[in-house]
A and B are shown apart, each in its own frame.
Chain A
Amino acid sequence: AQSVSQHNHHVILSEAASLELGCNYSYGGTVNLFWYVQYPGQHLQLLLKYFSGDPLVKGIKGFEAEFIKSKFSFNLRKPSVQWSDTAEYFCAVGNNAGNMLTFGGGTRLMVKP
């Protein structure tokens, strides 16, 4: 069975600080990895995804994530956060077709202006 762990439950940063959110997964098959974001009062939105190829994936709004197979990790990064990045971030692993998702517990990010 697949599982996803997000070790940081709450993160508070000041604007312009750098961000790294941890994500570790366990899955026996071909890995498809995702980061979703949920802004306050809004639905889940896809930030970025990894299916194959370059392990450094760039997403929307300046976010990127790096797939490190040896560490079973897919950490999310942003060099300089903005107040508008305040949201909850979910890492997820998909099945071979990439569409049935197992989510981590989420990390709530608060960016102070």
Chain B
Amino acid sequence: GAGVSQTPSNKVTEKGKYVELRCDPISGHTALYWYRQSLGQGPEFLIYFQGTGAADDSGLPNDRFFAVRPEGSVSTLKIQRTERGDSAVYLCASSSRTGPVTFGSGTRLTVV
């Protein structure tokens, strides 16, 4: 597609539930990134994929967070046992190996 697509755009879930957030990167981009942006703050790095493998997952806050990219294109960020503190905008971005990073519009997750 023309840009990075994220679905859903908004997600409201109850505390303790499991959620999946989807990212469809720009076609041909080998690198994919997930960031989290809490209210009033800048985006925080979560995880980076190069192809199918997670090249750096040092930003994942704890083991409730997991992300996959099984075919090297679409990625899913999975959050188990959601907590109210997980409420944020989750941003996905992609790039070619050396090109600029392009961001999606994000998924606004609200845990109630």
Contacts and interface: CB of A to CB of B under 8 A. Distances in A.
A13 interface: no
A101 interface: yes
Size category, A interface? 20 to 34
A105 B105 contact: no
Contact of B45 (A44, A49, A100, A106): A100
A73 interface: no
Given A90-B43, A105-B40, A43 B104 contact: yes
Interface string A76-113: 00000000000000101000011111111110000000
Contacts of A103: 35, 42-44
Interface of B: 3-4, 31, 33, 35, 40-45, 48, 56, 91, 93, 95, 98, 100-106
